[in-house]
A and B are shown apart, each in its own frame.
Chain A
């Protein structure tokens, strides 16, 4: 249903070979654990990092197809992590943030800032599996349209 090339996160029948690798950078481990279960059903392999530095190290030492970054973490913030990752590579980045950080009159538009710093898509917590899949699809689509082919 959301097929975008070979690594599309839609339902795939053969779970033996992960179709795409996902890194979740979030200090709240329960979020990453749930994302892992959700994506495993769709042939995705998920790894977790609970700090931005650890996530950046993981990105440098291993290949991932997409990275999800929580905006608010102790240590290096998600926004700064996005800037740093974007300088290093064209990997699709999805920014995640919580309640209240969506557009509202007086609030700072963190997701807008994330997009400005190079995020490919953003998603507000709490999100349903469908929203997660769609955000990943969007980020893949954007990556394939801006860089030609992402192999």
Chain B
């Protein structure tokens, strides 16, 4: 790691001082992954410590040192809030023009895999988080055809692409949707018809275009 990382106050300088795009991407992914991994526990911590503070009138009075539990709870809340703030800054500091959501998704994926493998017998495949990445227009077309029952060859023919390309789109969209097989895709299509339709705001660009 670079010397910039040793001091959180230099976070702004770091953005300028990146030696390479690869490094920026790596830092981005690590920062985003850490922020995301800590997100849940920090939320829980903030709620618990706030709860202690809101009920601190039930604590016994201060002991001989004058250090009351109430004061300890207040300090705990202040530090928790500080950690939340720092975490937000760490997450924000890694802003680059790169595809940050992809970085977040990838980083989170890694951490979740690590956390889940072996836990209640869940396999890595099953633990793959999904659907944060919207399907592309092409992937939606491929999804529609797969649900109609097209084989890769038939689908490729209908879209006038090679069956290998079709297969690759299919693999990609299944990964995005967390589907293990065609039955999963069918279930998904029944539950969420908008996954298949062209018009809905399934991807960010369409939303931005509407808002612009």
| A residues with CB within 8 A of B | 26, 28, 30-31, 33-35, 37-38, 41, 71-77, 79-80, 83-84, 98-100, 104-109, 112-113, 116-117, 125-130, 132
Contact = CB atoms under 8 A, between A and B. Distances in A.
A41 B40 CA distance: 21
B185 to A, nearest CB: 12
13 contacts: A30-B40, A30-B44, A72-B129, A75-B131, A76-B192, A84-B192, A99-B91, A100-B100, A109-B207, A116-B207, A125-B42, A126-B84, A129-B51
Contacts of A113: 201, 204, 207
Interface in B65-109: 84, 87-88, 91-92, 95, 97, 100-101, 104, 108
A85 to B, nearest CB: 11
Contacts of B48: 34, 37
B60 interface: no
A77 B131 contact: yes
A94 to B, nearest CB: 13
A31 B129 contact: no
A56 to B, nearest CB: 8
B152 interface: no
B36 A99 contact: yes
Given A41-B55, A126-B46, 10 more contacts: A31-B44, A35-B47, A74-B126, A74-B128, A74-B129, A76-B191, A79-B131, A100-B91, A127-B46, A129-B54
B40 A31 contact: yes
Interface of B: 32, 35-36, 39-48, 50-51, 54-55, 84, 87-88, 91-92, 95, 97, 100-101, 104, 108, 112, 126-132, 178, 188, 191-192, 194-195, 201, 204, 207, 211
A107 B130 CA distance: 18
A80 B47 contact: no
Q: Interface on chain A toward B: helix, strand, loop, or mixed SS?
A: loop
B92 A125 contact: no
Contacts of B126: 74
Contacts of B207: 108-109, 112-113, 116
- Top 9 nearest A-B pairs (CB, nearest first) are A28-B40, A77-B131, A34-B44, A108-B204, A98-B39, A34-B47, A126-B43, A99-B91, A30-B44
B43 A127 contact: yes
Nearest to A100: B91
A74 B100 contact: no
B70 to A, nearest CB: 17
